[in-house]
Amino acid sequence: MIEGHLYFFPLSVCILIPCAYFTSFFVAVHFGHLKFEFPFLNHSSTDSPESCIYSQIINFVSFLLIITIYIRYRQITELIRNNPTCGIRYIRFNITFLICGIIAAFSLSITSNFPHTNVYSIRIMALYTTYLTSVGALNCETLLSLWIQPLLYSSRILPILRSIITIICTLTLFLFLIVQTIILIKYDNENKPWTSTTLGWNYHLTSIISTWILTSFLLLYLSTLIIDFHRIKIISPKIFLTNDITDEQNALSLSI
């Protein structure tokens, strides 16, 4: 039963996102839509059929990611509720984490459904939003992990590891935003076929490396939630039919 195997959600996200990138990339290479080279993240998903494969996987991932974020939000909520020492700041950071996480999941879906060459402005804004809100959610979640460490963990290793990952993601995000903004302002990035001789190639290469680092560490952070999700479970809700409820109410009124 899924009630006792909630780690399935973060684990699936961590597996499916690399699968989406590499599957669409190899399909693009197979059909001659792309050369076999180190690609910009999700750049290989601009033509069919690889764009269809990429979009379907990422849309499903977005759904799983929202479930993962909500479960984590409810876990922290229960810890706060059962421990009076947790102040209002815990609740605020937890709500911020939930909002940023949902926005990140939704914008991730947008990047997969808007082709690079057709609606570039929408795609790049969704990419900005995905990374900004993802790192924002990471910072909130890291602070919560450090604060609730005595309630969940016997050791500080996991919270410290998450702090290191968050610092790396935050610094890489700033690098990506600066370099990508320079590319957008100074160079015609929308329809340019980038090569090593193209003006601004170093900025483009830096942007490629930063997105790969950022995505890899975001997934690494998400994989640490598998440990937490092993310790929680949900109980299936009870479903009542309207007729049954009506009959029970009538029986209750007659007995009175």
> What pLDDT does 42 receive?
46
Residue 43 in this model has a pLDDT that exceeds 80: no
Q: What pLDDT score was predicted for residue 59?
A: 93
Nearest partner of 100 among 209, 218, 3, judged by Cα: 218
Is a pLDDT exceeding 50 seen at residue 135? Answer: yes
Could you tell me the pTM of the whole model? 0.84
Q: In Å, what is the CA distance from 97 to each residue of 57, 170, 223? A: 24, 15, 17
- pLDDT value at residue 221: 95
Q: Which of 15-19, 31-35, 111-115, 148-152 has the highest mean pLDDT?
A: 15-19
pLDDT digits (tens, 9 = 90+) for 154-182: 678 888 999 999 999 999 999 999 998 88
What is the spatial distance between Cα 61 and Cα 245, in angstroms, rounded to a whole number? 37
Greater pLDDT, 47 or 16: 16
Mean pLDDT of 108-132: 83
Would you say how long the chain is, in residues? 256
pLDDT in tens, 224-249: 999 888 888 777 777 777 665 555 55
CA torsion through residues 62, 64, 67, 71, sign = negative
